[in-house]
Amino acid sequence: MKRIHILILIAAITLSACGRNKPGILGADAPADNVPNIVVSYALNALDPTGEQYGGTLTITNGDQLNDYKFQWLISGGIQEGTGTLEGNQLTFTWNSLAGTDQVISGTGVYTVTVNGELHGTRTIDGVETPGQETAYPNPK
């Protein structure tokens, strides 16, 4: 039953991505001791575990402690939230879905921060072997 819900979520994400452009070229990975501010809103381009494109927005806010952050993804009308920690230029996190599915789907991920404040990395879905690929571009202020 969980796999059916995952496949439905993947199909919904795929349908919402029709006509999206390919991601742009990223900046170099940020030095671990000089990471730009990541507390911003991002445009998200991604590939799900089956290789289908999807997009949305990602908002990162400060967490309760230094180097802890809160995440919110808006993808295909669904809302996913998570928490994570920045160590050097590596942002690791856990996430779960809040809306758009009949049951909670969750997973983990890791983004690398670039010198331009972009994020790139993988995001997994619990129970699915292959991770998806995500790239997030800061929205202009």
> Residue 81 maps to which CATH number?
2.40.128.120
Tell me the per-residue pLDDT of 109-124, one tens digit each, with 9 for 90 and over.
999 999 999 999 999 9
The answer to whether residue 62 scores a pLDDT higher than 70 is yes
Nearby residues of 66 by Cβ (< 8 Å), 6 or more positions away: none
- Nearest CA-CA partner of 24 in 139, 103, 135, 140: 135
- Nearest CA-CA partner of 86 in 105, 107, 106, 71: 71
**pTM tops 0.75, yes or no:** yes
State which residues form the domain around 64.
2-138
Domain count for the chain, please give it.
1
Tell me the per-residue pLDDT of 63-98, one tens digit each, with 9 for 90 and over.
999 999 999 999 976 899 999 999 999 999 999 998
What is the distance between the alpha carbons of residues 68 and 54, in angstroms, rounded to a whole number? 27
